[in-house]
Amino acid sequence: SSIKADSSPSLWLVCRTICECDSVEVKGHTGQDITLPCKYDRKYYGALSVCWQRGEIPTRGCSNQLISTDGLTVETRASSRYQLLGRLEDGDVSLTIKSLTEGDAGRYGCRVEIPGWFNDDKHHIDVSVVTGEDPVRCLCTKCTEAVNLKTNIPSYQGKVFLSRAVGSLRDRQTCSECIFLDY
């Protein structure tokens, strides 16, 4: 037997709610800052309200809310550890968690409130926290120092560095653009 969409509107609603979410995994180290991505098209929609929370995003609003914005300024914040450091005016509402702890591991949700029924953009981010002295492996794609004067190319480009601080390289060189390797 088949189920018709018009005979079961609640099934359609459940499917629509599930399908609108996406999920991303982000890994960070204790004591470091971590940024959870969330963006919307500000040019198209204008300023929108956005809230961040712990756990699954409910049908409406945010429960366990961490921070919210009206699209222009931060309206509420549960702790100073939660920051929106992206350019709100460009729709970048990525959440930065300062000084990551083991207790920060788990699921986070970003809800972008788009006007209309069931239009909200929902993003889930699963955070895992690495403890101890394991180094981060950073494939440096652009450095702020150590530029080869002949070619004007950073001398560390394309090399893998081990570091306990994200983006920090040996010999006080700093990597301004990194791809973090997971091995």
Is the predicted pLDDT of residue 172 greater than 50, yes or no?
no
List, for residues 31-69, the tens digit of each pLDDT value.
Answer: 999 999 999 999 999 999 999 999 999 988 888 899 999
Tell me how far apart the alpha carbons of residues 84 and 124 are, in angstroms, rounded to a whole number: 16
Instruction: Report the DSSP beta bridge partners of residue 128.
Output: 27
DSSP 75: E
DSSP 125: E
**Third-level CATH fold of 21-130:** Immunoglobulin-like (2.60.40)
Is the predicted pLDDT of residue 148 greater than 60, yes or no?
no
Question: What are the residue ranges spanned by the domains of the chain?
Answer: 21-130, 136-181
What's the average model confidence in pLDDT over 114-122?
Answer: 91
Whether 101 contacts 91, CB under 8 Å: no
Is the predicted pLDDT of residue 150 greater than 50, yes or no?
no
Q: Can you give the pLDDT at residue 177?
A: 54
Residue 167: pLDDT band (50, 70, 90) is: very low
DSSP codes of every residue in 139-177: EEEEESS-EETTTTEETTTT-EEEESSTTB-GGG-BEEE
Tell me how far apart the alpha carbons of residues 166 and 122 are, in angstroms, rounded to a whole number: 28
Q: How far is CA 150 from the centre of its chain?
A: 38
Whether 100 contacts 165, CB under 8 Å: no
Q: Can you give the pLDDT at residue 61?
A: 85
List, for residues 71-103, the tens digit of each pLDDT value.
Answer: 999 999 999 999 999 999 999 999 999 999 999
What's the average model confidence in pLDDT over 145-165?
Answer: 42
Give the 3-state secondary structure of residue 8: coil
Is the predicted pLDDT of residue 24 greater than 60, yes or no?
yes
Nearest alpha carbon to residue 137 among 29, 23, 25: 29
Q: Can you give the pLDDT at residue 138?
A: 55
Is the predicted pLDDT of residue 16 greater than 50, yes or no?
no
Whether 39 contacts 92, CB under 8 Å: yes
